[in-house]
Amino acid sequence: MTELECLLKEYGNAWIMIAFDPVNKAWHSLSEKDAAMKSIAHSPISSHINTAFIERNNLTIRERNRRLTRKTLGFSKRKKLLISSLNIYFGISHFVKTHKGLMTRIDQNGRKWMHRTPMMAAGITDHVWTLSELINFRV
């Protein structure tokens, strides 16, 4: 099953994952566990759930965003300020900060590697943004 054969449908307040079964040529609903297992089974990276990646990501976010650390003056008491802070953090992480694991090999003008951001790797943008460009971008 590929990613294109699964859909996420909203019914009232509930979200249900449905998948197309090519053998029976029918749609059927999946539980969250079934959907996760099917996605992991076709993942090129790992064939089992590894919480180390999730915990490492959570720690990185907590280290870089003071509003998520407990018992400090920067702790967010208001949800709106926390969401704004996280939006800025993720914008910088995805558009401004290059990631070593996403570098691609090129041989142009004496350069061997091209540094990329996650949004460049996804094909959403074609250059590394500056912080000024991110903050002044109109949505």
Instruction: Give residue 77's pLDDT.
Output: 80
CA distance 16 to 35: 10
As to burial, measured by CB atoms within 10 angstroms (0-12 exposed, 13-18 middle, 19+ buried), residue 117 is buried
As to burial, measured by CB atoms within 10 angstroms (0-12 exposed, 13-18 middle, 19+ buried), residue 121 is middle
Instruction: Give residue 19's pLDDT.
Output: 66
Q: What is the pLDDT along the chain (139 residues), one digit of tens a residue?
A: 443 355 666 666 655 666 666 666 666 666 666 666 776 777 666 676 677 877 888 888 888 888 887 777 877 788 888 888 888 888 998 899 998 888 888 877 777 888 899 898 888 999 999 999 999 988 7
The residues facing 16 across adjacent strands are 9
Return all residues near 81 (Cβ < 8 A) that are at least 6 apart: 67
pTM: 0.60
